[in-house]
Structures are given as C-alpha cells and as structure tokens.
Structure 1
Amino acid sequence: MKILLAEDTKDMNRALTAVLEHEGYEVASAFDGAEALEYIDRDSYDVMILDIMMPKVDGLEVIREARNRKIVTPVLLLTAKAEIDDKVAGLDAGADDYLTKPFSIKELLARIRAMVRRSVDYTEQDLQFRDIRLKADGMELIAGNSVRLSQKEFELMRQLILNADHPVDTEFLLSHIWPREPEAESDTVWLYICYLKRKLEAVKSAVRISGEKGGSFLLNE
C-alpha cells in the first residue's frame, strides 16, 4: 500500500516515514507542496497525508489541484492550528479527514487504517433516494449534476439514506461516523450537515435535510 507524505519539517517527515515504512507502507516523501504535485503526476497512491503549511505550494492547493484532476484518493490533512476555520478550509478544499498537531502515532495509524477500510468497504455500494444517487466509486453525489464528497460527507449521506424512513439523531451519527474521535461533538455533525445541504443544492436535487443543530435529521423533499 502506497502513501504520499508531504511534510516540510524534515525531522518530522523522516520520523513519520520511518514509522509508516515499519508498518509495511511504501512511502513517497515530499518536503513541499510542489514536490508533492510532482509525485502525484508520476504515480497513484492509496492515501495522501499533507501538511497544511508548506513552502512553494501549501497543502490546501495540493488538495484542490488533485481534486481538479479527478483524483479521489483519500487525503488526511495535518495542521498545527486547532481553529475551526482551518479545519473548514481543509474540508472545503477536498480533504477527507484531519489531525491537529501534536498527535500520537497510534492515532495517525488508526486514521490511515480507517480511511483505507472505508474506501474498500464502499466499493459497489451505490445507494439511491428520490432523485439523488450516492455513487461509491469516486464518492459522488449525483442528481441534476454531480459533486464529489469527502469520506465523512459520504458516510453521513449514506447513513441518512439507509435510515431514510426515520430521523437519525446526532448521537447515532457520532457513534457511527466518528466512533474513535473523542474531539467530535454535535457541532462537528452540524458542520457536515451544512456541507451536505450546500452540496444537495449544488447538484440541483429536490431532496433536503431537515433538522436542527444537536437534534435529529431526516431526508425529505
């Protein structure tokens, strides 16, 4: 399994590379965003780990460029900042998950395993509700047109469709989508609900998500 790691702090880059290789991953190591894009041009990867603050090209631009090229490889974003705006910017750019520095190696490895497992589990599990289709291959939401979803957005929409006959409460979503992420809270669920509302409008679907922050959510027209 191949991982692209882009981290400009040399000591951290080398340490993470050594850990990942010890775990059996093949690692392509880049020290800035421009080098990361060169790697993306030459090869494909199972997971990309990108620092948000890098010289030449930052992590957000690397993600945007990858998504513009229709590359749907899961992206884990590393950031030294804990502010919500930085997390939102990363997710808006197309990241699937994020870790705030400092983080434990055990948590990093767990996030990687979860991203890879979700990618495999979603294969050939397309779902439909009213005029929308959730396509596992490429993690697309399709109606009048299509848009790519992050892994968390995909999981959330999947749960809403699978439970379309009854409201799904915030605690259920936290336990099923963020089971090993103690920092996730009702605000996290609401943030992703808002993302999905915008993306339903973007694909010109008649489907809407009803519900209030901290409560239960239901798909309807």
Structure 2
Amino acid sequence: MKIMLVEDEEMLSAIVAKGLRKVGYAVDTVFDGEEALVYYEMNEYDMIVLDLNIPKIDGLDVLRAIRKKDTDTKILILSARAKIDERILGLDEGANDYLIKPFDFGELEARIRNLLRRNFSVTPATIMLSSFMIDTNAKKVICNNEALNLTRKEYNIFEYLILNKNKIVSAEQLVEHIWDSEFDPFSNTLRYHIHTLKKKLSDFSDKEVIKTIRGQGYIIEDAQ
C-alpha cells in the first residue's frame, strides 16, 4: 500500500516514514501543502497522512482541495491541533481519522491498517484463501501451520491481489500501490517479485494461486 506523508518537521517525517516502510508500506514524504497537492495529482495513494501546520498551504486547505475531487482516498490528520473544535473541523472537512501529536507509532500504524481495510470488500484482519491464511496485522502468510518466508514486497503483492480477488490487477496498479515514486517503471523488479512469489506459493499448493493474464495483469480467483 502506498502512503503520502505530509509533515514539515523533517526529523519526525524521517522517523515516521522509516517506521511505515519497515512494516511494508511504500511512502512518499513531502514537506509543505503546495508540494502535497502536486504529488497528489501525479500519483495514486491508498492513504494520506496529513499534518495541518505546514508551510505554503495550510493542511486544512490541502484537505479541502483533495475532497473537492476525491472522496475515496483515506486521509488521516496527524496534528498538534488538539482542541475539540479543531478535531471536529478536520473530520467535518473530510478527514477519515484524527490523531493528536505526540502519538505512539503503534497506534498510528493500527489506525492506518484499520482505514486501509475499508478500501476493500474484505475487512477482517485475517483473510482465508484455500489453505492460506493471511494475517494483515502481522503481515504474514501461513499455510498448514507454517509461515511462508516472503519478503515485504512479495507479501504486499500477495495481499493486494487478495484484497482485489477475482479482479485483474495490472502491473501499473501494483507499482502504484506497492512502490514509492522513485520506482523505475522500466526495470524488471515487479516481474522478478511475481516470479519468486509464485515459486514460493507453489511449494504449498498444487494449483496456480496467482494467474498471469497476458497483456492485462495478474489475478487471484476464489478457490474452486
């Protein structure tokens, strides 16, 4: 999943971005409201974590600008504006959640997980696919009581395809949601990760779990 982190305090931004990347998210960091709107127009994000006290364009105005054209992208306000009326205003303007600074990273991560689940028809923390159990909290895949040794990117690809089960997901969609904006679209990175993921899944299943639809993308279908 891909997140834009809008935070002008560079040290805090680096700490939060590092933590989110460590648990498997692709993160773009921006430091002012003007840059946030440029990045929003250029990329597709699953979530925006938005500070309000940012230079050039206030965070609330960034929120309003995005909500004029987009009611789907999840937005979590992360701000020191802690008064009740300020929090109510942020939520009324279209934020999906509001977390006050200072905050615990574990709580931030839990709120992000909860909001991202709402993007899909599947909402439980644990998803079953045939003999595979996907734990979206722990970011693990288990089959027959054995955890698959997946890299973060392999897990993220598998999770995203399962959350879009029975739909063809294009390579472009996977790149948009799993890699940050520094990804080289001309590299073979995605194909390599798909290949290694398929190989690992084949060790636990005789059936083809991820199907490649030539010229269109990839799909995971309901187990027959």
What SS does structure 2 have at the residue aligned with 1:120?
coil
Match of 2:104 in 1: 104
Partner Cα distance (1:70, 1:118) in 2: 16
Cα distance in 1, alignment partners of residues 71 and 4 from structure 2: 13
Instruction: Report what 1:70 is aligned to.
Output: 70
Deviation, 1:121, is: 3.4
Deviating beyond 4 angstroms after TM superposition, the runs of 4 or more aligned structure 1 residues are none
Q: How many residues align?
A: 123
Q: Deviations over 1:128-168 (max 9, x none)?
A: xxxxxxxxxxxxxxxxxxxxxxxxxxxxxxxxxxxxxxxxx
State the structure with more CA Rg: 2
How far apart are 1:82 and its partner, in Å?
Answer: 1.7
Deviations 1:23-56 (A, max 9, x none): 1110010001111101001011001000011110
**How far apart, CA to CA, are the structure 2 residues paired with 1:70 and 1:109?**
23
Q: What amino acid does structure 2 have at the position aligned with 1:44? A: E
CA RMSD of aligned residues (A): 1.4
Partner secondary structure for residue 50 of structure 2 = strand
**Structure 1 residue ranges without an equivalent (≥5):** 124-221
Distance 1:66 1:91 in 2: 14
Identical pairs, percent = 46
CA distance in 2 between counterparts of 1:17 and 1:11 reads 10
Q: Matches of 2:58 and 2:36 in 1, distance apart?
A: 10
Rounded to whole Å, the distance in 2 between the matches of 1:93 and 1:22 is 31
SS in 1 for 2:76: strand
Quote how far apart the aligned CAs of 1:71 are. Answer: 4.6
Q: 2:86 and 2:108 mapped to 1: Cα distance?
A: 19
Aligned to 1:3: 3
Greater relative contact order (CA < 8 Å, ≥ 6 in sequence): 2
Letter in 2 for 1:32: D
Distance 1:121 1:110 in 2: 19
Classify the secondary structure of the residue corresponding to 1:35: helix
CA distance in structure 2 between the partners assigned to 1:60 and 1:53 by the alignment: 9
Match of 1:16 in 2: 16
Q: How big is the shift at 1:79?
A: 1.3
- The one-letter code of the counterpart of 1:49 is V
Cα distance between partner residues in 2 of 1:11 and 1:57: 20
Q: Does 1:28 align with 2:48?
A: no
| Secondary structure of 1:76's aligned partner | strand
